[in-house]
Structure 1
Amino acid sequence: MELSTTVSELRYALDTFFFLMSGALVMWMAAGFAMLEAGLVRSKNTTEILTKNICLYAIACTTYLVVGYNIMYVDNGSGGFFPSIGTLIGTQAEGDDHSLESDFFFQVVFVATAMSVVSGAVAERMKLWSFLIFSAILTAFIYPMEGYWTWGGGFLSEAGFSDFAGSGIVHMAGASAALAGVLLLGARKGKYGKKGQIYPIPGSNMPLATLGTFILWFGWFGFNGGSQLMVSDFENATAVGQIFLNTNAAAAAGAITALFVCKSTWGKADLTMVLNGALAGLVAITADPLSPSPLAAVSVGAVAGALVVFSIVGFDKIKIDDPVGAISVHGVCGFFGLIVVPLSNSDATFGAQLLGAVVIFAWVFGASLVVWAVLKATVGIRVTEEEELEGMDVHDCGIDAYPEFVSVK
């Protein structure tokens, strides 16, 4: 066997392994979302939110395999608006950098991440089965369409839109779908008073919420690092190191800034805001974790950490009820991440970034609003007032997450 052939096969094996391990890290983010959301909802809704998280992941993996990946990537022409919908996964070609199966696995955990954003925002008052139906539609069709326009080589890609690992394509898209659902769903009972009062509804388990945030932070290294796509040569390996550094720096800066904003505004260190500050920094740097210097990455994370606090408060003032702050973290900070890319990446332009952000939001929000509206008019999307009062664990799952807290008659 020639030396060049051996080196090529070794690089193929290494890059495939890198893809798979990065995908496994992103898959672990599903646990992070589950723990974060379980900690930030009330104990009576914990089992139900966990059921949503594991079921949405399973649904996403199935629908994206059967339909979504084909729409997004297979046999599509460059610069188009409509996908060709090719054959399942595609055919491996000699000279590929990695296996197509590893590429699919890496992509499918991204679509599950987008759907995970939705579950927290609509928590504590949405019907389980309506949510799961929407999960199938988003992961099979809505997300893959905008994914084709961007990462799949469609018209936004040709227009110069740049989103390295998905601040807009994944995170803002998930938040757009969530916002559409929240607007039709309405707020939780008791969240807002008739005279504009805002009543906090504390989560049930701060240790779980903190664990979930650390898991997400950990998984994000696969999310951003794996998006480099290769690690088998000097340039790409160095780039992955830079991505890890910037990703971590932005998250840390986001948490610190959120801490100081809370202290200066309310005199308290609000843990939930600090957790969301870290996540905000992660979302914002995801649009381009490679180009900024480490100090620039700190700046991006710091601004996002402050922005998310004011965004969460702002949404509350206009009575948009988001129990976990997902729309602010993933939507507002995802948009912010897209818009600041040209500050460190000379290949990106503000015009192309704004175009991409507007198209992604308009498509995902509009399509989701239609789907939510159809579900609302047919099977319904909101539980009854009695079910909401008693908790969805009893009605949807028949299992209490914390049975020792429930009195036995």
Structure 2
Amino acid sequence: MTHFKTLASAAALIALPSLAFAQDEVATVAADEFVWIMNSLLFLVGGFLVFFMAAGFAMLEGGLVRSKNASTQMTKNVALFSIAAIMYWLVGYNLMYPLGDWAIEGYLSGLFPSVAVMEAMGITLADADDASYASTGSDYIFQLMFCAATASIVSGALAERIKLWPFLIFSAILTGLIYPLTASWTWGGGWLMSGDTPFNDFAGSTIVHACGAAAALAGAIVLGPRIGKYKDGRVVPMPGSNLPMATLGMFILWLGWFGFNGGSQLAMGSVGDIADVSRIFANTNMAAAAGAVAALILTQVLYKKVDLTMVLNGALAGLVSITAEPLAPSLGLALLIGAVGGVIVVFAVPMLDKFKIDDVVGAIPVHGFAGIWGTIAVLFTGSYDGDATVGAQLLGIIAIIGATFVLSLIVWFILKATMGIRVSEEDEITGLDTTELGMEAYPDFSKG
């Protein structure tokens, strides 16, 4: 009996290392699953916050257009998001990331890096649900929301005089081809990310916002201004129909931006990641507040009265400005970056009017000019990828904005030549709600 106990004890001692190894392996698997779950959760939460920005864009634009065009703006915002969802699935996602499902061997696939490059960058692979980074679905839905935002930017700038269907066709091309192509140069690991000094744009001040603004600028140039906007050398104000609704839209966008910037941390599986997301939230909020206050004070000084529309756009410009690097700055520096964005908007809106570029909601100054500023501001804050350089930042800005503008200009000219993009003068004066949709947003009130 004693001999048997001795043998059993010896066997147990021999088995202990194997048992410990198995426990370590289980612990490692559990840790990997935890990271995978938390990263996927960040994408999902960030994704539905950015989705809610679609409501913000709709409310902002619906409030800033005249009442006779409000229903059309609602229709455009619902339709463009839905079209973006289909086009990004059909073409855009696999064009933006080199996954091999869409790229044409010898023609398009050579533009993009290999899967190994993506893995080295920590980018989710859509063909590997069991990857240690995050789930395919969560990554896809998060990236889709960024894509749809670009078309929302265009929608507001070209309001009140563009035909519905040409705009929707352009939205399909923008979200399916143009945005994914230029975004692939950075977030897809393309040529702007190669070399020792890659382009730095954390959450898309240029990649998303200035891209949308460039497409809007091209459209505004081809489309022309609204009837009566510029008369006898002066700018004729065309007040929006519902400023409380526009204000609600701004606050919804402000809320959604926590997902926009916070989700771009791309990881939530460690204490450090959570701390970084928290810091991103704080800096994002500070920049928005500073942009609003800067516009508030500046309009009082310049015009002797505060301009609410400028304050709304000042907050949004602050948000766009901090988007290029919401992690690295201190709160004080985030305040400065956002405040400069607010100042830019106050001066940029009348500057566009001098060139007779009619941007109904101020989308080009907010997303374009402030986006450029935010991307350059990375030079003063440092970046998540190391020190940014003037050359790399300017190259990225010029490449993305330039390519988007030229490609969009071509598409707008083709649409103008083939089907026309502008409603008739009579229809514009009557209002697009009646002529394009046959229904009014405010049937119980007089037309504005």
* TM-score, normalised with respect to structure 2: 0.87
* CA apart distance, 1:93: 5.4
Q: Is the 8 A contact 1:45 1:124 kept in 2?
A: yes
1:210 aligns with 2:270: no
State which of 171, 177, 183 in structure 1 corresponds to 2:209: 171
Q: Which residue of 2 aligns with 1:192?
A: 230
Instruction: Decide whether the 8 Å contact of 1:277 with 1:304 is kept in 2.
Output: yes
Within the candidate set 30, 54, 58, 1:30 is matched to 54
Q: How many residues align?
A: 402
Give the structure 1 partner of residue 392 of structure 2. 352
Aligned match of 2:418 in 370, 378, 385?
378
Distance apart, 1:400 and its partner CA? 0.6
Query: What is the DSSP-based 3-state SS (H/G/I as helix, E as strand, rest coil) of the residue aligned with 1:150?
Result: coil
Q: Do 2:318 and 2:342's aligned partners in 1 also have CA atoms closer than 8 Å?
A: yes
Structure 2 residue aligned with 1:335: 372
CA contact (8 A) 1:71 1:84 kept: no
Give the Å deviation of 1:350.
1.1
Does residue 127 (structure 1) correspond to residue 127 (structure 2)? The answer is no
Deviation at 1:4, TM superposition (A): 1.7
> What is the CA deviation profile of residues 323-353 of structure 1, one whole-angstrom value per residue up to 9, with x for unaligned ones?
1000000000000111110111152111100
Percent identity for Structure 1 against Structure 2: 53
Letter of the 1:388 counterpart: E
Amino acid at match of 2:424: T
In structure 2, the partner of 1:286 is: 323
Shift, 1:186, TM fit: 0.4
Task: Report the CA distance between 1:96 and its aligned residue.
Answer: 2.1
Q: Does 2:131 correspond to 1:91?
A: no
Q: Deviations over 1:216-249 (max 9, x none)?
A: 0000000000000111101111100110000000
1:74 to partner: Cα distance = 3.0
1:400 paired to 2:440: yes
Q: CA deviation at 1:271?
A: 0.3
1:35 counterpart SS class: helix
| Matching residue's letter, 1:316 | D
Whole-Å separation in 2 of the counterparts to 1:243 and 1:264? 32
Residue number in structure 1 paired with 2:151: 115
Which residue identity lines up with residue 266 of structure 2 in the other structure?
L
1:182 aligns with 2:206: no
CA-to-aligned-CA distance 1:149-206 (integer Å, 9 cap, x gap)? 011000011151010000000000000000000001000001001x311111000000
Give SS of 2:111's match: coil
Gaps of 5+ in 2: 1-22, 104-108, 116-124
Are the aligned partners of 1:41 and 1:123 in contact in 2 as well (CA < 8 Å)? yes
Task: Find the aligned partners of 2:238 and 2:110 in 1 and give their Cα distance.
Answer: 43
C-alpha deviation, 1:90, in angstroms: 3.3
Which residue of 2 is the match for residue 223 of structure 1?
260
Per the TM alignment, residue 95 of structure 1 is displaced from its structure 2 partner at its CA by 4.1
2:140 corresponds to 1:104: yes
CA distance in 2, matches of 1:282, 1:175: 15
Deviations 1:28-56 (A, max 9, x none): 00000000000000000000011000000
Quick one: which amino acid aligns to residue 362 of structure 2?
G
Is the CA contact 2:129–2:136 (under 8 Å) kept in the aligned structure 1?
Answer: no
Check the 8 A contact 2:83/2:172 in 1, yes or no: yes
Larger Rg, first or second structure (1 or 2): 2
Change (3 A) 1:114 1:235: same
Question: How far apart in 1 are the matches of 2:364 and 2:415?
Answer: 21
Q: 2:308 aligns with which of 268, 271, 284?
A: 271
For the 8 Å contact 2:113–2:190, the answer to whether it is kept is no
SS in 1 for 2:161: coil
SS state of the match for residue 28, structure 2?
helix
Code of the residue aligned with 1:182 in structure 2: it is: A
Distance 1:15 1:28, change over 3 A: same
Partner deviation per Cα, 1:84-133 (whole Å, 9 max, x = no partner):
899xx832154421101110000000000011000000000000000000
Give yes or no for contact 1:74–1:90 (8 Å, CA) kept in 2: no
Q: Distance in 2 between matches of 1:54 and 1:95?
A: 34
Change (3 A) 1:145 1:196: same
Distance 1:93 1:49, change over 3 A: closer
**Aligned pairs (5 A) from 1:56-95:** 56-75=80-99, 82-83=111-112, 90-92=126-128, 94-95=130-131
- 8 A contact 1:225–1:244 mirrored in 2: yes
SS at match of 1:24: helix
Report the residue type matching 1:405 in the other structure: F
Residue 15 (structure 2) aligns with: none
How high is the TM-score relative to the length of structure 1? Answer: 0.96
CA–CA separation in structure 1 for the residues paired with 2:44 and 2:432 = 36
1:58 aligned counterpart, secondary structure: helix
Cα offset for 1:399? 1.3
Deviates more, 1:368-377 or 1:195-204: 195-204
- Does the aligned pair in 1 maintain the 2:284–2:326 contact within 8 Å? yes
Q: Is the Cα–Cα contact under 8 Å of residues 71 and 85 in structure 1 kept in the other structure?
A: no
Q: Distance in 2 between matches of 1:201 and 1:302?
A: 27
CA distance in 2: counterparts of 1:128 and 1:95, whole angstroms: 42
Contact 2:58 2:77 in 1 (8 A): yes
* Contact 2:299-2:306 within 8 A present in 1 as well: yes
Q: Which sits farther off after the overlay, 230-239 or 369-378?
A: 230-239
SS class of match (1:153): coil
Q: Tell me, in whole angstroms, the C-alpha distance in 1 between the residues paired with 2:233 and 2:399.
A: 33
Pair 1:242–1:129, CA change in 2 (3 A): same
